[in-house]
Structure 1
Amino acid sequence: MTQPPPPPPSQPPNQPPQPPGFGPTNPNQPPQQPPQPPPGYGYPHPAPPPQPPQPGYGYPGPQQNPYGQQAPAYGQQAPVYGQQPPAGYGAGPQNPYAQPVQPGYGYPGQSPQAPMPPQPGQGGGRNTTALVIVVAAVVAIALIITGGIWYANSSGDGGKKHDTASSSGGTGGKNGSGGTGGGKEKVPADPAAKVLFKVPLPTTDDVVTTAGSWLTGKVYAKSGVAEIVGYDPAKGTRLWTIKLPGPVCAASKQVTSDGRTAITYQPRWDTKDHFAGCTQIAAIDLNAGQKLWTKTVKSGDYPVSYQNVTVGRRTVAVGDTEGGAAFDIDSGKPLWLPKPGDDCYDAGYGGGAKLVAVRSCGDVDNARLLIQTLDPKTGKVISEYRMDQGIDRASVVSTDPLVVAAVVGDGSRNMDYFSIDDRTGKLLAHISAPADAYGGKCEGITRFEDCHGIVVGNGRLYLPTAEHDSSSGLGRTNSIVAFDLTTGKPTGQRADAGDGTTLVPLRMDGSNLLAYKPPTYKDGGQVVSIDGGSFKETKLLVNPAEQKAREAESNFLPDSHEYLYRDGRLYMAQIFARRKGTSSIGEQDLVLVFGTSG
């Protein structure tokens, strides 16, 4: 098939990763100053520093959009491997998250916007570099304090505790005061880690997704090229392989307590002649290494292509503009199917401890999203929250407690978070997180629970702040801060990454927050545990500082790739195979695993 042109080298750094092979920049060379990115639905990028920073978050260099195309409008099917894009889809290489959103008609006022840090070179040459750094640091502190102060309360019972269950993504936790239960992850006597095993990155003739990685007590499983492979979680020995007739399209992040999950995939490989679509829905027993069943859903005479799949309790749910469907994960029995002629449709779902639908109603000009908590066995609506008109994309950050993320405003990059009572559908708090002050990214176009760097637990929302210059002027740094899900106010808790490094929230561990520090130009990455009450940081894993190990680790980006941590081991995985004929720098892995000895 005809390949789309590669994106230009001037794209902003933290985009969905280019299929490996385009190659990161040489880590021994100072990184280039990134250009100011256009508005989009993802991580904010502050103004370039007055001097080139040392490699930090995203080191050793930017990775880019694999398709080199503009993102589709909400509800439009994104291109997958073997599909010929429809006419007019993507006029050229652009940021896939830079699609302007519709203005929030009738939307409540935005939070006060803090001023942006001064751009290098402003002030007619009167500012010295030192002054710019000092001012930027002061402004960054002000942004952290003021960025999320706008909030709204409802009359609902915000003090009620909700039971949760952690998924592989780990965005769950008890809705309480926090800091009392601790975590299950043991603190090793020596956090120094080594490479336990790695899986080579496969090469293909075209862009092929390898989305999906899961961890149970018995196996680490990872999608490959038209297959899923189970590995011994400590040794990397191949335990089983499930061959598929076509590539995996989407994979649930959720895993049941007995190790079951779900995927969608293409029914055949010969997509150069005709588009096969993501029409196959399957349940996988990860512990046994078995495909339990495969189903399709038809709209008229044609099977529906699904790129959104999740597991809520023991229900597999898939959503699309043609309508949502659900199946019992054990038997494959249909629980509900799309209703012909329905003016509304379940565009996508969020799973885990509960099942939440993102339901779209109305036409393109008058679309409105409904956030519905469903009975996972019947699809009956338990509660419903109506998003304000003009919000046409939303992501489910957590189902218990229920937190939804959305971009609000015309051309805005600000991420707003909505804490909702899942029993009544009432809004508990609305937290505005300006893009110039906070990080965190949600895909929000075809996948509805694909958020990175955003964690919910302890009755709080944990966000990374935007990166800024370190106090020493060497490298970049940031912090993690918390917001109360009942009031929307900052709790005052803050964990600083430290000089020259950054922090990315990973998941909850009981009442503790696990976070990742990417490698720098001299140190390996780290996994740390942050106490939910005191915010005291404890090192769980420190990766090797040797250059080869740092380079291998730096091929993975925490805002795009798959990260799982458990039992003293960090699993990192790519989501695209490498396309043949493309250049690369150094060895690249599909899976890279670090672990401690104790």
Structure 2
Amino acid sequence: MTQPPNQPPHGGFGAPQDPPPQGGFGAPTPPPPQGPPQTPPPQGPPQPGYGYPQQPGQPGPYAQPGPYNAGPYGQPPQPGPYGQPGYGYPQQPQYPGAPGTPPPGSRNPFKNRTALVVGGAVAALLVIGGTVFAVAGGGDDKDDKPVAGKSDDPKPSVSGAPVNPGDGSGDGGEDPDNLNEGRKAGEAKVLWYKEAPDAPGSGAEAEGMWITDKTAVKAAYKQLFAYNVGDGRPTWDAITFPQKVCATTPQKTSDDKIVVAYMSGSSDRAKCNQLQQIDLNTGEKGWQGEVAEGGLFDSTLSLGLTITGDTLMVGRSQSGTAYDVKSGKKLWDKKKYGDACFPTAFAGGQKLVAVSSCGASTSNEHDEVQELDPRTGQARWTQKFDKGWRVARTYSVDPLVVYSTHQDKKAWNISTLGDDGKFRSQVEVDEDFAPECGWAILERNLQGCLGVAADDDTLYLPTEATASANEIVAISLDTGKEKWRVKSPADESMLPIKTEGGKLVAYVQPSYDAGGQIVSIATAGAGHQPTKLLQNPVGAADIENGFFSKAIDWVDGRFYISTTRLNGNDDAKEKLMLAYGK
């Protein structure tokens, strides 16, 4: 395999920011009750980065030694991962991972942070994963039929009165909140807002938000709600599932359909194995099915769902099954292959990507990334990562941008892979990046990051907030080098949302005395100053600021924000979703 030339090593900031766990590793984080503005809790456990204790003189992920040139801080030459001249400092991961040593006086990200928590969490994951893969062996060839068929009830069930539409006509009675009160000239308005449904006192998941040209659909606990994008009136009666929703497809099909998974029961032995296709515009239920268990330790306690074209990929803990998303017909299985490689996570969208754990508890333990043909399951290419490197996230699927970590070396890496699977570049920017990526410990959530965007040749990442807000950095996918950066126009963090029409659209978060903003930033040319598209009203700032765990989207000149976690607090009028526009 032809390796790309060694690049100047980047700094050690950049790990995705995870909310701090509550109640043990892997437990979901309840958001704070909505109400008066609060200072949000720290952004998650400390992440590998600049200032980590590095181990000089070790080979990179492909074990190809090569001399580093002495760096600007006088460090002695270090071996490079590709056998080509490199840089002595900062010694940070190269495709993923040449170690290094920070200069004297560099900031230690472990200082005043709970470093042992992160180390213990990741170590626990590796031990658990190693045990599972070592015991699992070959895996079964169990026939996994989705039992697809038209739902007995082709029309959505009615869950009672609609969620409060924000004007007192819903099931919540009079609502004293006037979120447009005191709206100033030039401010947008709250088009509509919705209160959250009842949830258990321990809280509940509310993952999933989809916007079509007609309807905004939101998942919450056991239900799907649909609202007209313009006025928020229910477009179809809420769908209530027998048990809680446990997985959803982040994507929708070209004809606006999604697939939702819900639990088989309410006991501790219940599985996340019930599938239901839904039409977002009409609420009509399509095919339904049940996902079969895999082999030993290959369970459906949780699922990962993703759509690529007309293929629905359902990921179990050590395998996956593909279905035709239109009919529910099973297409193929992705099972153990090669050197005891078990597929553990999938990412979809424009491409279908699989990440597998291989050779657990052996000297050849490593991760592999593959692009799969969505209709046949055949691997178009396979890229091996060196031992110790764990592929944790995909910041983008097309182009494919992969975030990986090395626990022992306390290092991270962001790499871009080309259409042939070969490494195209790595991020070399010495920065503390801070996309919001949730908390996943016993499973990988490859597409769970908020606040990162990419186009054909550029990756856009937010930096960590400081006393003077933060910046978005544009990074070349061809070289890994910084192209430009722009500071937030307010003293609050700015997060990329998407790219469209040659511009980057970003969300500036609200403060205690100002609503959030939607801005656009030209991606080409010399000027990259934010242009305001929408200024949210100050009357909604408290509510907007209360979405600690959130989903956001910008569609057709409207901004949508919703919670992804219900806190279950009966004493608070928790908001489910807001829509803003002019």
Q: Could you state the TM-score of these two structures normalised by the residue count of structure 2?
A: 0.68
Task: Give the corresponding residue for 2:559.
Answer: 570
- Relative distance call for 1:418 and 1:483 in structure 2 (3 A) is same
| 1:504 paired to 2:495 | yes
The one-letter code matched in structure 1 to 2:506 is A
Secondary structure of the structure 1 residue equivalent to 2:390: coil
Letter in 1 for 2:353: V
Distance in 2, matches of 1:204 and 1:307, equals: 22
Q: CA deviation at 1:341?
A: 8.6
Partner of 2:240: 243
Q: Which structure has the larger Rg over C-alpha atoms?
A: 2
- AA partner of residue 360 (structure 2): D
Deviates more, 1:283-292 or 1:518-527: 283-292
Q: Does the Cα contact within 8 Å between 1:405 and 1:442 map onto a contact in 2?
A: no
- In the alignment, what sits opposite 2:221? 225
CA shift in 2, pair 1:455/1:35, >3 Å: closer
Counting only pairs closer than 5 Å after superposition, residues 466-485 of structure 1 correspond to structure 2 as 466-470=464-468, 477-485=469-477
Q: 2:537 corresponds to which residue?
A: 544
CA 1:39–1:207 in 2, change beyond 3 Å: closer, same or farther?
A: same
The one of the two structures with greater contact order (alpha-carbon pairs below 8 A, sep at least 6) is 1
Structure-1 separation of matches of 2:421 and 2:531: 37
Tell me the equivalent position of 2:193: 198
Unaligned runs of 5+ in 2: 1-18, 52-91, 113-184
Residues in 1 aligned to 2:444 and 2:97: alpha-carbon distance in whole angstroms: 27
Offset at residue 504 of structure 1 (A): 0.8
Aligned residue type for 1:257: S
Cα offset for 1:10? 11
- Bigger drift between 460-469 and 340-349 goes to 340-349
Out of 235-244 and 482-491, give the one that drifted further: 235-244
Q: After TM superposition, list the pairs within 5 Å mapping 1:377-416 onto structure 2.
A: 377-410=375-408, 412=410, 415-416=412-413
The equivalent residue for 2:70 is none
Contact 1:267 1:279 in 2 (8 A): yes
Q: Unmatched 5+ residue regions in structure 1? A: 1-7, 46-102, 123-189, 471-476
SS in 2 for 1:394: strand
What is the DSSP-based 3-state SS (H/G/I as helix, E as strand, rest coil) of the residue aligned with 2:542? helix
In structure 1, how many angstroms separate the alpha carbons of the residues matched to 2:357 and 2:225? 36
Shift of 1:407: 2.3
Whether 1:591 and 2:577 are equivalent positions in the alignment is yes
Question: Does structure 2 conserve the Cα–Cα contact (< 8 Å) formed by 1:41 and 1:442?
Answer: no
Contact map agreement 2:321 2:333 (CA 8 A) in 1: yes
Cα deviation, residue 281, structure 1: 2.8
Residues 25 and 580 of structure 1, relative CA distance in 2, 3 Å threshold: closer
Of 26, 43, 46 in structure 2, the residue corresponding to residue 39 of structure 1 is: 46
Partner of residue 374, structure 2: 376
Task: State whether structure 2 residue 476 is matched by structure 1 residue 490.
Answer: no
* Matching residue's letter, 1:405: Y
1:425-440 correspondence to structure 2 within 5 Å: 425-432=421-428, 437-440=432-435
C-alpha distance 106-421 of structure 1, shift in aligned 2 (>3 A): closer
User: Match of 1:197, SS?
Assistant: strand
Cα pair 1:572 1:592 within 8 Å, conserved: yes
Alpha-carbon distance in 2 for matches of 1:571, 1:112: 44
Alignment of 1:126-205 (within 5 A): 192-205=187-200
| 1:261–1:322 CA distance, 2 compared to 1 (3 A) | same
Alignment-derived partner of residue 254 in structure 2 = 257
Superposed CA offset, 1:58-84 (max 9, x none): xxxxxxxxxxxxxxxxxxxxxxxxxxx
C-alpha distance in 2 between matches for 1:9 and 1:397: 21
Structure 1 residues 411 and 573, CA, compared in 2 at 3 Å: closer, same or farther? farther
Which residue pairs with 2:5 in the alignment? Answer: none
**Structure 2 Cα separation of the partners of residues 235 and 105 of structure 1:** 50
Structure 2 SS opposite 1:265: strand
Shift of 1:521: 2.5
2:208 counterpart residue number? 212
C-alpha displacement of 1:235: 1.0
- The 5-angstrom pairing of residues 68-79 of structure 1 reads none
Q: Verify the 8 A CA contact 1:505 1:513 in the aligned structure 2.
A: yes
The answer (yes or no) to whether the contact 1:460–1:482 under 8 Å persists in 2 is yes
Structure 1 residue 595 displacement after superposition: 1.4
Taking a change above 3 Å as real, the CA distance of residues 236 and 367 of structure 1, as seen in their structure-2 partners, is: farther
| Partners of 1:192 and 1:439 in 2: CA distance | 28
Any idea what SS the aligned residue of 1:550 has?
helix
Deviation of 1:437 (Å): 2.2
What residue number does 2:283 align with?
A: 289
Letter in 1 for 2:472: I
8 Å Cα contact 2:97/2:406 also seen in 1? no
Query: Over aligned residue pairs, what C-alpha RMSD do you find?
Result: 3.5
Distance 2:559 2:365 in 1: 41
Select which of 313, 317, 323 maps to 1:317. 313
Q: Is the Cα–Cα contact under 8 Å of residues 199 and 592 in structure 1 kept in the other structure?
A: yes
Give the Cα separation in 1 of the matches to 2:456 and 2:95: 33
Contact kept, 8 Å, 2:209 with 2:219, in 1: the verdict is: yes
Residues 48-87 of structure 1: pairs in structure 2 closer than 5 A = none
User: Distance in 2 between the 1:230 and 1:499 partners?
Assistant: 33
Does the CA-based 8 Å contact 2:96-2:415 persist in structure 1? no
What is the Cα deviation at residue 410 of structure 1? 2.8
Once the two structures are overlaid, the 10-residue window that deviates more, 197-206 or 537-546, is 197-206
Query: How far is the alpha carbon of 1:396 from its aligned partner?
Result: 1.8
Per-residue Cα deviation, 1:484-531 (whole angstroms, up to 9, x for no partner): 11111111x111113522211111113211100011132110000111
> What residue identity is the alignment partner of 2:530?
E
Give the deviation of 1:441 after TM superposition: 3.8
| SS of alignment partner, residue 551 of structure 1 | helix
1:104–1:389 contact (8 Å) kept in structure 2: no
Runs of 4+ in 1 over 6 A off after TM superposition: 8-11, 34-37, 103-106
CA distance in 1, matches of 2:367, 2:186: 46
Query: How many angstroms does 1:322 deviate by?
Result: 3.1
The alignment partner of 1:337 has SS state of strand
Tell me what 2:154 maps to. Answer: none
CA 1:339–1:359: 2 relative to 1, 3 Å:
closer
CA contact (8 A) 1:571 1:591 kept: yes
Q: Structure 1 CA distance, aligned partners of 2:282 and 2:93? A: 48
Task: Please tell me whether the aligned partners of residues 207 and 577 of structure 1 are also in contact (alpha carbons under 8 angstroms).
Answer: yes
Separation (CA, whole Å) in 1 of partners of 2:409 and 2:562: 32
Question: For residues 325 and 21 of structure 2, what CA distance do their matches in structure 1 show?
Answer: 45
Report the Cα distance in structure 1 between the residues aligned to 2:99 and 2:196, rounded to whole angstroms: 45
